Amino acid sequence: MADRPEPGAPDLPEAVAVPRRRFAPQLIWLVPIVAVLVGGWLAVKAVLERGPVITITFKTAEGLEAGKTKIKYKDVEIGVVKTVSLSPDRKGVVATAELSKEAESFLVEDTRFFVVRPRVTAGGVSGLGTLLAGPYIGIDIGKSKQTRRDFVGLEVAPMVASDQPGRRFILRAGELGSIDVGTPIFFRKVSVGQVITEELDKGGTGVTFTIFVNNPYDQYITPSTRFWNASGIDVSLGAAGLEIRTESLVSILVGGIAFEAAPDTGPEPPAAANTEFMLFLSRAEAFRTPDRVVDTSLLVFDGSVRGLSVGAPLDFRGVTIGEVVKIGVAVDPKTFAFTMPVLVKLFPERLAGRQFIGTKATVSESPAVRLSRVKQLIDKGLRAQLRSGNLLTGQLYVALDFFPDAPKVKSDLTAKKPPEIPTIPGTFEELQNNLANVVKKLDKLQIEEIGADTRKLIASLDETLKSVDTLLQGADTLVKRVDSDLMPDLRRALDTAGRALDTAGATLNSANAVLASESPLQSDLRQTLMEVNRTLAAIRALADSLERHPESLIRGKQGAASP
């Protein structure tokens, strides 16, 4: 080419030629190889990391977004919702989610899924983060070994994760009160757990709560622990003044349940999980001695039971040992005699004296033994009596007491069910009866006859009075006669009597002179008496010395022999 002459470009330099290396690997092909390696590695990784796909059925897809909604365990993302579609029966939605590889072992029979949404409960606020980031699906991993791929999601997050240490217990109450899911449980005012479910019993007779008590505190729940509703403020006015009890500010606002071991119980093993307890309405009620043994008895009253109501106390000398359960009327079809049967509940444990002794006294005897004891008591005079509890309202209560004077009753307790305890009329009733008897007796008196008799009596009295009058007139004439006939003789007799009295007076004067204190007779007598006195003293001395030294009678006085 160089030899070819070119017009207009005469002396162009010749390019320098350098011999080419024979082997020149085309390095550029490394680039696609690296790219393929990287891409292949990513693809393999993606396939290897591919986790299980599960379906979760929810009632509503509120907040669920395909491709966006995460599945998180302890706030670690373990999966994402891929699709959200309606379930075939259109009753819910089915979310299909892809989980990461390590979540494979989480998918067991009792694993629960739930949508975490912002929630404000009694215990506090949860899921605030989901307000902005949107809800996510939470997971509570079960303990089962059986794997599962289709789940039914819960509508609300469970209050307690299954791996949270602690125990569940069951409380039964008559009514819900102010207790709600999330209501805190207090132990000595420390919040130790919460209510996790509330449910109406099947028969509608009560409410059942499931509570969860966190781990270090669940050991304080023993079989004899009492639970009570600690909601609000408990104000009581007692002998000690106004007393206000409350658990915490939270419990005032949202309610609460408190528990405490029953008094007078020694150390006990902690209660097993899912033990059932009663939920009492108040602390006072919770700590009332429970009556585990209940006997029923029948009391038959003859009189009116007006003022006696169901629930009225059965009182033994001031201690309530039972209550009235039922009040009825019974009639004997032959005689039409009405009686008032009253059914009562008796708590024999209250008679066992456990309140005083403080030990765990149990009425361990069989009902038959208790019955025979009641029979003994009845033989000793145990009777039931209606007494007035309140004079103003006329409320009655049943008193059990001993009336040794009460008429003996032949009672066969085993024959009837429930056994019958004999009754005697009440004090008021007795008074009423006595008054009625008096009135009845008064009624029986034949007052009209009495009147007639009285009239007759008065007539005869009239006649008598008349005869008395004549009698008096006769007496009058008699007196007059006496006055005129007897008076002179009488005066004479009186004169002689006066003279006799004068001589008697002189005689007495001379006697007086003899007996005067300075008279010789008197002084002689006094001297004689003094002599006698001294003699007697000497005799006493002799007697004394003889008593001390009886031997002196024989040997003579020792002291005199040797002075």
Partner 1 sequence: MNVTAARLGYLTCHACGLLHRASGHAHGLFCTRCGAALHTRKRDSVARAWALLIAAYVLIVPANVLPVMVSGSLFGSESDTIMSGVAFLWSDGSWLLAAILFIASIAVPFAKLLAMTFLLVSVQRRSTLAPEQRTRLYRVLEFVGRWSMIDIYVAAILTALVQFGGLMSIQAGPGAIAFGSVVVLTMFAAESFDPRLIWDPVEPHGR
Q: Does 42 engage in binding with partner 1 (CB under 8 A)?
A: yes
Rounded to whole angstroms, how far apart are CA atoms 276 and 290?
16
Nearer to partner 1, 139 or 363 (CB): 139
Q: Does 44 engage in binding with partner 1 (CB under 8 A)?
A: no
**Beta-bridge mates of residue 86:** 93
DSSP symbol at 188: T
Q: Does 47 engage in binding with partner 1 (CB under 8 A)?
A: no
Q: Does 2 engage in binding with partner 1 (CB under 8 A)?
A: yes
Nearest to 384, CA basis, from 296, 301, 304, 295: 301
Residue written as tokens 């373990």?
A: 78
From the list 22, 23, 25, 26, which residue makes contact with partner 1 (rule: CB under 8 A)? 26
How many residues interact with partner 1 (rule CB under 8 A)?
36
> Binding pattern to partner 1, positions 292-331, x when CB under 8 A?
----------------------------------------
Nearer to partner 1, 119 or 549 (CB): 119
Using CB under 8 A, which of the segments 19-27, 53-61, 199-207, 297-305 binds partner 1?
A: 19-27
Residues in Cβ contact with 383 at an 8 Å cutoff, skipping those fewer than 6 apart: 400, 401, 402, 403, 406, 421, 422, 423, 424
Nearer to partner 1, 20 or 499 (CB): 20
From the list 16, 240, 494, 497, which residue makes contact with partner 1 (rule: CB under 8 A)? 16
**What one-character-per-residue DSSP string does 228-283 give?**
EE--S-EEEEETTEEEEE-S-HHHHHH--EEEEEPTT----PPPPTT-EEEEESSH
> Binding pattern to partner 1, positions 108-147, x when CB under 8 A?
---------------------xxxxx--x-----------
Using CB under 8 A, which of the segments 25-33, 168-176, 355-363, 408-416 binds partner 1?
A: 25-33
Q: Does 240 engage in binding with partner 1 (CB under 8 A)?
A: no
Minimum CB separation of residue 1 from partner 1 in Å reads 4
- 409 burial (CB, 10 Å; 0-12 / 13-18 / 19+) is middle
Rounded to whole angstroms, how far apart are CA atoms 402 and 184?
51
Minimum CB separation of residue 246 from partner 1 in Å reads 37
Nearer to partner 1, 14 or 405 (CB): 14
Q: Does 36 engage in binding with partner 1 (CB under 8 A)?
A: yes
From the list 28, 391, 458, 490, which residue makes contact with partner 1 (rule: CB under 8 A)? 28
- List C-alpha distances in Å: 246 to 3, 179, 229, 236: 117, 15, 11, 12
Q: Helix, strand or coil for residue 175?
A: coil
Rounded to whole angstroms, how far apart are CA atoms 259 and 423?
43
Q: Does 22 engage in binding with partner 1 (CB under 8 A)?
A: no
Nearer to partner 1, 62 or 175 (CB): 62
Minimum CB separation of residue 112 from partner 1 in Å reads 21
> Binding pattern to partner 1, positions 71-110, x when CB under 8 A?
------x---------------------------------
Rounded to whole angstroms, how far apart are CA atoms 157 and 422?
62
Nearer to partner 1, 31 or 541 (CB): 31
Q: Does 356 engage in binding with partner 1 (CB under 8 A)?
A: no
Q: Does 484 engage in binding with partner 1 (CB under 8 A)?
A: no
Q: Helix, strand or coil for residue 319?
A: strand
- List C-alpha distances in Å: 176 to 158, 198, 281, 322: 20, 8, 10, 28
Q: Residue 458 — φ and ψ, nearest 5°?
A: -65, -40
From the list 22, 23, 25, 29, which residue makes contact with partner 1 (rule: CB under 8 A)? 29
Rounded to whole angstroms, how far apart are CA atoms 405 and 165?
66
**Beta-bridge mates of residue 420:** 298
Taking the chain, what is the end-to-end CA distance rounded to the nearest angstrom? Answer: 199
**Residue ranges that bind partner 1, judged by CB under 8 A:** 1-2, 4, 6, 9, 12-20, 26, 28-29, 31-32, 34-36, 38-39, 42-43, 46, 67, 70, 77, 129-133, 136
